[in-house]
Structure formats: C-alpha cells, structure tokens
Amino acid sequence: MSTLAVLGASGYTGRLVVAECVRRGHRPVVIGRDHDRVVAALAGERRNLDAEVAEIRTADVTDGRALRDALEGVDLVLTTVGPFVALGRGVLDAAIATGTHYVDCTGEQPFLRWAFGERDTAARAAGVVAVPAAGFDYLPGDLLADLAAGAVPWPREVHIAYMVRTPGGLPATSAGTRRTVASLLGARGVALVGGEPVEELPGEERRLAWFPRPVGPRHAAGIPGGEPVMVPRHVPDIATVRTYLALPGWQAELMQMGSNLTRWGPARRTLRAVLERGTGGPPPDRRAATRWGCVAEAAGPEGIARAWAYGHDTYGLTAVAMVAVAEAVLAGEPAPGVLPPASVAPADALLDTLADRSDLRWSVARPDPSEAADVD
C-alpha cells in the first residue's frame, strides 16, 4: 500500500483526516510542528496510536528543508495547514521538489490562482499530481459543474451555489476556518464572465439558486469560489463560471456592506481580531447536524441542466473527500500537474465513492424551463 502523510495532524481538520485514513486501512505518517502537540491531539481519539500511524514527524511549514525531510518515503501528502496563502506555498513547493503527490483542503481562491497559475508547469515536470481544494470548498461544486455541463449541448455558463444550515442558525466553523476567513477580509474575488476574469467583492452578484426540494429556490450571493479557477480546466469552452452562497436577502446585503467596510483598514482589523478568537471547532453532534447542499446549473443554447448534492457535516465531508481524492490519484495515475478534483477521476465515480463513505447524495436533472419560483 502507498504511504500517505497528513500535515496539520494536530489541527481540527487534520485529526479528522487522520481518522479517515485509518478508517480506510492506511497507516499514515503524521506530521506536525510539535511532536507532543500531535500526540496530545491524536491520542484522545485514537486508542491505539502506535499501531494506527506509521510514524510521527515534525516540520514547520516555513522551513523548506525540514518539510522536504518530513516527506521522505511518502507517496502523497494531505495538508490541512492554513491559511494557505500564508502557510501553504512552501508545502506545495516541497511536494514538487520531492516528487510527492499532494492533496489539500484550501478554500482560498488566491491560493488556487497561484497554484494553478504558477505551479502547474513545475508539477508536470516533476511528475507530481497536486489537487488543491479537495474539501467541502470546492470539490462538490467542481464535480457537479462537470456533470451539469456534460448534460447540456454546448454549455456556455455554469453557476454553482452552496448552502449550509446549522442548528440555531449560528455558524459551526473551526478556529482555523475563521482565521482563514479573517485573512481574506477586504479582498476582491475573481469570477469568469464572458471569457474574462472579472473582479468582484463578495455579495455584489446575486442569483436565484435552485436547490432540490425540500429546500427549493434560494437567493444566493456571489463569493470568490474555486470553481471559476478550476472548471474551465475540464469544461474548456465555458465562458462564465460563478460561485455563490445561499443567503436570505438581508444577509446578502450585510455581506456586501461588510465586504465594502472591510476594505477600510480599521474595520478590517477589528473584525479580524473577533474572527481570530478561540480554538478547536464544532463538537461532533453539531457537525453532524449541519446540513449542506450544492447545486451547479449549466446553461447553453439548448437549455439548462442542474446537478446537485447534499448531505451533513462539512468537515467530515472534507476528510472523506481528501482521502478519496488521494486514493484516486494513487490508483488512477492521472497525468501530472495541478489538477481540479474533476480531472483526477470521472465526477460521477468520485461522487459515488463519497456517497458510499458518507451521507452525500447526488443527482443530475434537465428541468422544465417553465418551472415557477416560490422563494423564501
């Protein structure tokens, strides 16, 4: 069996990835910047740590040499060390330098633009397959966009919308996710519109997103997703790709106001300080009660198609998806380079794998264009 390594193993998401590796029969190398912190983080959940992990290694991601040493003998590294713009570049570079395949869970569009734009050639030359954004952000949208676009002749546009519902409506995010959101405050995102990259603030663009029933149509606001970077790589003639988050109208207004306000330094610093508080993440029962949905709508001259997926537990899905993508990379040997999830294996096969390993369900439909909206 190939050797997987998990970098960020002491973190909230990294622990879930280690658990998923073990569940799938791997014996991963786990890497953290502090040996005792890794042991303390994993020992609580893993009753038989010595047998379940191959080795604990230490490396700080800011130390290239230590990272390259830590990847010795590793076939594929899964990394959850973020914010990726600040901490992720050295990891991808170390993977390329050591010929190690790479999977991450970034949800940061600027990191994706850098990885696809600046490291694809080096990854190809090194024979490395690198798959960023293999978590909840933005694997479902990438796979569903591929399926929706494949279900209409000559697709020209794909619009991908996400929905997350937590019990009580309060966010169920980890401290690492909040720190990453804080690091992106005030930044514009890029959408692909009519074949051109267009800069937008979160919340500027609005659309009605058609989730399957019982959710139904929802207002959605534009966010800087991964799909505008990734989907054109496997749907080559696509002219427009946008990502959205379903939000009630007033929350979308608030998002737009907030993203305008955080372009102003003092407001950005204040909100950043609030978001950077705390440690850990939602407890398992709260994670399990978090419902998510994703719909991709593709449109062409001959109509539209929608592909959708839904399930529970966005962090659990991230761990399951990262390991499934890692296994697909090792089993399928796709052509090297920086690849979107949909270029690693057929989108329907990957979704079926996720459906076997989680409560994810998915489907593709060609809806009746005359359907009427009944929007909350």
Does residue 81 bind ligand NAP (CB under 6 A)?
Answer: yes
Binding-site member from 19, 42, 87, 350 for ligand NAP (CB under 6 A): 87
Nearest approach, Cβ of residue 285 and ligand NAP (Å) = 18
Calpha distance 258→22 (Å, rounded): 41
Distance of CA 257 to the CA centre of its chain: 25
**Binding segment for ligand NAP among 116-124, 135-143, 246-254, 324-332 (CB under 6 A)?**
135-143
Binding mask of the shown chain, residues 182 to 221, with x at each position contacting ligand NAP by CB under 6 A: ----------------------------------------
Q: How far is CA 35 from CA 56, 280, 319, in A?
A: 7, 18, 22
* Dihedral sign for Cα atoms in the order 134, 135, 141, 147: positive
Q: Which two tokens stand for residue 325?
A: 């993508």
Task: Return the range that interacts with ligand NAP (CB under 6 A); candidates 21-29, 132-140, 266-274, 325-333.
Answer: 132-140
Asked if 82 contacts 176 with a C-beta cutoff of 8 angstroms, the reply is: yes
Q: What is the DSSP letter of 135?
A: B
Question: Which is closer to ligand NAP, CB of 124 or CB of 165?
Answer: 165
Judged by phi (left if over 0) then psi (alpha if -120 to 50, else beta), residue 4 lies in beta
Residues 98-117: x/- map of binding to ligand NAP (CB under 6 A)? -------x-x----------
Residue span binding ligand NAP (CB under 6 A) among the ranges 79-87, 146-154, 187-195, 252-260: 79-87
Using the rule CB under 6 A, is 315 a contact of ligand NAP?
yes
Confirm or reject binding of residue 135 to ligand NAP (CB under 6 A). Answer: yes
Q: How far is the CB of 191 from ligand NAP (least distance, A)?
A: 19
CB 57 within 8 A of CB 36: no
> At closest approach, how far in Å is the CB of 70 from ligand NAP?
10
Binding mask 16-35 for ligand NAP (x = CB under 6 A): ----------------xxx-
Helix, strand, coil % in the chain, rounded to nearest 5:
40, 25, 35
> Which C-beta is closer to ligand NAP: that of 145 or that of 299?
145
Query: In angstroms, what CA-CA distances link 163 with 93, 137, 284, 309?
Result: 33, 12, 20, 10
Shortest distance in whole angstroms from residue 61 CB to ligand NAP? 4
Q: What is the C-alpha to C-alpha distance for residues 160 and 307, in angstroms, rounded to an integer?
A: 9
Q: Quick one: 155 or 362, whose CB is closer to ligand NAP?
A: 362
Q: Does 176 bind ligand NAP (CB under 6 A)?
A: yes
Minimum distance, C-beta of residue 372 to ligand NAP, in the bound complex (Å): 33
Closer to ligand NAP at the Cβ: 32 or 337? 32
Q: For residues 289 and 164, is the Cβ–Cβ distance under 8 A?
A: no
Give the residue ranges of DSSP H helices in 186-310.
227-230, 249-261, 265-275, 284-288
Judged by CB under 6 A, which stretch of 46-54, 76-84, 304-312, 347-355 contacts ligand NAP?
A: 76-84
Beta strands, E only, the chain = 4-7, 29-32, 55-58, 76-79, 101-104, 129-131, 157-165, 189-193, 196-200, 206-210, 217-223, 240-246, 291-300, 303-312, 337-338, 361-365
Q: Binding segment for ligand NAP among 130-138, 147-155, 190-198, 249-257 (CB under 6 A)?
A: 130-138
Residue 156: CB minimum distance to ligand NAP, A? 28
* C-alpha atoms less than 13 angstroms from C-alpha of 348 in its C-beta half-sphere: 8
Q: Which of 136, 162, 308, 310 binds ligand NAP (CB under 6 A)?
A: 136
Residue 225 and residue 137 in contact, taking contact as beta carbons nearer than 8 Å: yes
Task: Determine which residue in the list 4, 5, 6, 11 makes contact with ligand NAP, applying CB under 6 A.
Answer: 11
> Could you say which residues in the range 156-175 bind ligand NAP, by CB under 6 A?
174-175
Give the count of residues interacting with ligand NAP (CB under 6 A): 33
- For 352, residues 6+ apart whose C-beta sits below 8 A from its C-beta are none
Q: Could you list the residues that contact ligand NAP (CB under 6 A)?
A: 8, 10-14, 32-34, 37, 60-62, 80-84, 87, 105, 107, 135-137, 174-177, 180, 281, 314-315, 318
